[in-house]
Amino acid sequence: MNDDLLIKGLKERREQAFTTLLARFRPRVVNTCFGFVRNEQDAEEVAQDVFLEVYQSIDKFNGQVPIHVWLYRLSMQKSIDFIRTKTRKKRWSGFKNFFIDNENTWQLPTDSDASSNMEQKELSELLATVISRLPERQQKAFILSRNEGLSNAEIGTILNTSESAVESLITRANKRLRELLYNYYHNRS
């Protein structure tokens, strides 16, 4: 089913069209979301929101961009919204716990791979934190380039900017990431 038939089927609310949409684009959407939220379960949750948005707003889709571009844009926006919401919840939870719950209980891992798993988790969290400190457009360009393997031209279409602007965004993102990582490791020693 080509994109035009897929969009027509989606607008007519045909089950086969939604099944095709999910089969064709779900892995890409989940991967894009994961690039932002850095957690598999959260990425799956955000991806569900993306496809729910498609279902709810397909009638507004005007076809000015290919459907995969629209899906990338929705994936990025829903991921960023998710992160913002989660950050607000964490702040409130921390505030609430500070005043209400002074009991801190920590469970230490007991298996032999605990240190390796902890190091991997710490590294993943560090990378997610550092990437999240990039300006939003640099973050989007970097994730689409590194996680999705998209070309600068494809990213330019998704971000609605020129190929040279994408190249500049990625270059600045790489430079900023090197600085942030250098500062992190330099301050640790």
pLDDT 10s digits, 93-142: 443 443 344 444 334 344 545 556 666 777 777 788 888 889 999 999 99
Q: Say which amino acid occupies 61.
A: F
Instruction: Specify burial of residue 128 (Cβ count, 10 A radius: 0-12, 13-18, 19+).
Output: middle
How do residues 52-102 score in pLDDT, each as one tens digit? 999 999 999 998 999 999 999 999 999 999 988 876 555 444 434 433 444
Give start and end residues of each alpha helix (H) in 38-146: 40-57, 67-100, 114-132, 136-146
The pTM of the full predicted model, rounded to 2 decimals, is 0.69
Q: What are the structural domains of the chain?
A: 1-96 (1.10.1740.10), 116-189 (1.10.10.10)
Residues 6+ apart with CB under 8 A from 91: none
